[in-house]
């Protein structure tokens, strides 16, 4: 059966949408959660909802909000994202006409802007699956313990190129790793709730040391003494981290070109990130003349084949 669609216009200037945006802004501040913001985990929710896309079979992507179902939500790659969904639940109750798939992606765009990032264009009209039969299979999201080949395997499948892979990875300016979710631990930058190009600057400092955690996970660490002034929040410098996949961007010549550009040119990074994040959220989505997503049938045949 087809999920219900809504009559609320979702053009960028729609007043109903402005109300939802304002409600999202309000809930971002969460003093008792992580670094005081729901923003980073919400960005990751949107990314993992979209990052299942497979161009060859035209399956996966942000339409459907399949993470509400165990088959997708229970994927170990999605551990912790229930917090993001819980943060957004009151908004879904307040505005029942918006689909989960639209809410999750819109919330990420609003959060990035609120945290000092670029304006990202967003289009609504996604529908929610009504059962789990169209959820993508597990295993389509990247594994942080892997290398550059893995990054290309995962992101080329979605239709991204090397420049786009590096730009997308700049989202690691935000948030942190939690040992009880991914097994990795710590944050990439000193202020993980401010969107910037600091991730690339730190990456280039070269003296990342491999560290084996008590749980056996290997990541890279650096004590951020030198950047005290530059990332000034009056806070003590802490041990910062990189995943093996982050370090891979540094050592692969084709990725490295873009790490350098984004470290040196914040405006370029903001522009490229805005474009590639908008592209991510649109993967696999086709719209009819009224702007509603019309690709349910395509999805169905894709999953069954």
Catalytic residue positions, numbered: 48, 188
Burial (CB < 10 A; 0-12, 13-18, 19+), residue 47, is buried
Cα gap 12→26, rounded to integer Å: 19
Judged by CB under 6 A, which of 17, 111, 171, 189 binds ligand DDH? 171
Interaction of residue 177 with ligand DDH, rule CB under 6 A: yes
Residue 178 host element (H or E) = none
Among the listed ranges 93-101, 170-178, 212-220, 231-239, the one in contact with ligand DDH (CB under 6 A) is 170-178
Q: Which of 245, 259, 293, 302 touches ligand DDH (CB under 6 A)?
A: 245
Q: What is the phi-psi region of residue 40: left when phi exceeds 0, alpha when psi lies from -120 to 50, beta otherwise?
A: alpha
Number of residues that bind ligand DDH (CB under 6 A): 24
Q: What residues from 36 to 95 belong to the interface with ligand DDH (CB under 6 A)?
A: 40-41, 43-44, 47, 80
Task: Name the helix (H) or strand (E) containing 239.
Answer: strand 239-242
Q: Which stretch binds ligand DDH (CB under 6 A): 17-25, 92-100, 176-184, 207-215?
A: 176-184
Whole-angstrom distance, CA of residue 163 vs CA of residue 160: 8
What tokens does 226 get? 């030198």
Stretch binding ligand DDH (CB under 6 A), from 166-174, 193-201, 233-241, 289-297? 166-174
Among residues 20, 65, 98, 168, the one that binds ligand DDH under rule CB under 6 A: 168
Q: Which is nearer to ligand DDH, 145 or 296 (CB)?
A: 145
- CA dist 72 and 154 (Å) reads 17
Closer residue to ligand DDH in complex, CB, 19/35: 35
Residues 60/73/2/122 CA torsion (nearest 10 deg)? -60
* Residues in touch with ligand DDH (CB under 6 A): 40-41, 43-44, 47, 80, 142, 144, 151, 168-169, 171-172, 174-178, 181-182, 184, 243, 245, 277
């Amino acid at each position: 059966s087809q999920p219900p669609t809504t009559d609320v216009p979702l053009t960028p200037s729609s007043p109903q949408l402005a109300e939802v945006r304002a409600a999202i802004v309000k809930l971002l501040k969460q003093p008792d959660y992580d670094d005081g913001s729901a923003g980073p985990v919400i960005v990751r929710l949107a990314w993992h909802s979209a990052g299942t896309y497979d161009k060859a079979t035209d399956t996966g992507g942000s339409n459907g909000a399949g993470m509400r179902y165990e088959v997708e939500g229970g994927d170990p790659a999605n551990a912790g994202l229930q917090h993001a969904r819980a943060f957004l639940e009151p908004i879904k109750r307040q505005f029942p006409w918006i689909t989960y798939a639209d809410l999750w992606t819109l919330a990420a765009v609003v959060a990035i802007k609120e945290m000092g990032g670029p304006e990202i264009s967003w289009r609504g009209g996604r529908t929610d699956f009504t059962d789990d039969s169209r959820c993508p299979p597990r295993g389509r999201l990247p594994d942080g313990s892997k290398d550059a080949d893995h990054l290309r395997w995962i992101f080329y499948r979605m239709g991204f190129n090397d420049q786009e892979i590096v730009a997308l990875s700049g989202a690691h300016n935000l948030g942190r790793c939690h040992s009880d979710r991914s097994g990795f631990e710590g944050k990439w930058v000193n202020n993980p709730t401010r969107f910037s190009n600091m991730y690339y600057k730190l990456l280039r400092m070269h003296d990342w040391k491999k560290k084996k955690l008590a749980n056996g996970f290997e990541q890279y660490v650096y004590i951020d003494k030198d950047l005290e002034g530059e990332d000034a929040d009056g806070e003590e410098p802490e041990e910062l981290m990189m995943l093996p996949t982050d370090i891979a961007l540094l050592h692969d010549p084709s990725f490295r070109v873009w790490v350098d550009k984004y470290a040196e040119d914040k405006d370029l990074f903001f522009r490229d990130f805005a474009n590639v994040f908008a592209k991510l959220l649109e993967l696999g989505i086709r719209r009819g003349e009224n702007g509603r997503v019309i690709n349910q049938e395509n999805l169905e045949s894709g999953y069954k084949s």
